[in-house]
Structure 1
Amino acid sequence: MAVRCITCKGRGLCGRPVCPLLIKLEELAALPRIGNRLSGESPPEVFVGRHGYPVVRAGPLVPVGGSPEQPALDIARIISLRTRMVRSELEIHVQDAKNPGRLLESAQQIAMSSRPVETEVSFVRPPEGRMLFDGVLSPMGPGGRIEDIDVTGNPFVPRKVDQIVGDTDVRASSAVCELYSSSISVDHISRLLSVGLLGRDRRLVPTRWAITASDDIIGNAMLGRILDMPEFGGYELYSGGILGNHFEIIFMPGAYSFELIEIWHPGSAWSPEHLWIGSDREGTTGRRTYSPLAGGYYAARLPVLEHLLRMKRQAGILALREITEEYWAPLGVWVVRDAARAALESRPLRFETLEEAIRSAESRMRTKSSAWKHHSKSFSRQTTLSSFFASDSSKDPR
């Protein structure tokens, strides 16, 4: 069950109409009482679903009970806050982003803002249904069909966002990179992409796709620059994490490569019964197919590429992500991104060999390298090269 659940992450690949793991999570969340009308500050956040594509449901998230509270780094508290975020849903074709009606245009105005926006939404009937838990998305409360939307506050739109949204000649990938280079957050960029405000052929993009696409587009643009940089020398190890997601990230000599090994312990979000270990890797040519580790792969890779760019070096990267039972509910790939960034903000430890770095990493992990190293191509490659040079140097030079 653990293997299928981690691979599926609630997408229904087992054939069941409803994921039993998500049902258990929903039972822990007390859904709020909601009437036909709701007002409050949208975080700002807009959700675009994927079911029924190309006709999807889209609309802003509005909190029950007024303004949303500040986020907290406690899973139970995060779920409690996210339960209050009600999905307002407008059924719309993805191509309608080019010529939006008033309701979609209101949602787009909210998406452009970098600050919460006071919003009033009226529903055809009181919102109901399931909470939304997912491996990519943040949890969300129930949804309801929109009757009307009024943006009663003034959206705060950064100048660069206003400029790029108004430019219909720039490609979406170029727009994403230009926004990122202007210090617009990845979350804000994925929101703009999702509501169809970037690129030439504008369309709505389901939120889960837009999140991973933003991580991937930005990462690939950075990789193009990194490959022109000198290679890193020595071994450095960075450690840290948040919310039961712990990273050990090793920088190794050589040309760029990135490998992520995920270790899911029993009791963690998608591994209720057994230990599960999976891996994926890329080299200097990047990826040509979608990673089997899903959005978490791209979310973990982005902070590593950011770090390489700051170092002005390319390197081989071995990233070990250990997920413990402390991470008992899926909160979205932002957790992976922030956990990797937390690790890379630590003071690095330096070593002469990969084996020394692995031993140091093991001292902070529950899982020994004997359990995961056969999953790693980076480990075997580095070990083979080390053995070759060691044996070569031992030869009599005469």
Structure 2
Amino acid sequence: MGRIILPNADGSLSAFSTSVPRAFAPPTQPFNRIAFSAGHVVAQPLVEQDPWVDAKIDWDRTIAFRQHLWGLGLGVAEAMDTAQRGMGLDWATSLELIRRSVDAAQHSPGALIASGAGTDHLMPSPGVTLDTVIGAYEEQCEAIEALGGRIILMASRALVQAAKSPEDYARVYDRILSGVRQPVILHWLGEMFDPALEGYWGASDHIAAMDIAVDIITRNAAKVDGIKISLLDKDKEIAMRRRLPPGVRMYTGDDFNYAELIAGDGVGEENHGKSDALLGIFDAIAPAASAALSALTSGDLASFHNILGPTVPLSRHIFKAPTRFYKTGVVFMAYLNGHQDHFTMIGGQQSARSVLHLAELFRLADDAGLLMDPDLAIARMKPVLAAQGISA
């Protein structure tokens, strides 16, 4: 295949030859797991703006990418952290994104979508009260429901500031869950993804926090479809999913261990021996995720792992610490594979990872068979390298 000069971890340069991409068959039947991909947004660089401040979105390309995900049988988790929520994407733009995506889903038969409701229009400060947090949550939930949308209840930075005890978290969640029209997906985003969420649920220890969260879920089980946890710790996820009430799903948010968590261990109630999925990495590996889930649905566990296993090193690289900068790798994959014509992100986040990081991502994507057109990927990689003084 093609050849390119890439930098190595020690700063030296060496030639790299791309391999033949894998052929991932499209799905022919619904999956036996619910699988959401959190979708990224495509920036619009060719408008006057302050790139570190403004969120100028290329709406056509952004919605086209969601249609790509739906075409592969994946659901879309809209306006989540993968879309740079809280890192460039504000609530007003998020609501417009949700509106456009919900409308597109209505014109895409079978399309699954759920959207993030949080409190990000409320600035955390010492003066924020629990009632203010409740009002902010209700405002966003009502706005999404008015569009006909389904809710993913995101963790709140403001609630971390306002809450003084686990009982304060219980008060807020009990109130919000009592008012939603249909069951929601809760989202426990760990501090590795957002340092401002450390100590969520009112406890710095994850096991103690889990006790609080399970108690809230159990009390409100009729209003909770499931919970996505993003702690990057498979043992904690397994422990929590075994404790969930019947009918409440565990949606893995573990971008390090998703393959084995989705496959499951068969322990517990029917839907507690495995995890469903709500993953940012599915944006970057969508064709492989779809093909692997098809194999799993057909009972071919070996093919499931054969397809998804090689994507795990790529995902662990994209989500390496500082994990919150994983969006850069996700967008870079979309750029390499032709889903957008530039490597520009809202908030200037394309600069959040080094050229060495991007070069290793290129190698690992090739190893996983996910450079769908290697010649195009090389052509896209060369100007990125040239901007860093590397002649490829």
Q: TM-score range by the shorter chain?
A: under 0.3
TM-score, normalization by structure 1: 0.26
Higher relative contact order (CA 8 A, sep 6+): 2
Q: From the two aligned structures, give the one with the greater strand fraction.
A: 1
Q: TM-score, normalised by structure 2?
A: 0.27
| Bigger helix share | 2
The structure with more radius of gyration? 1
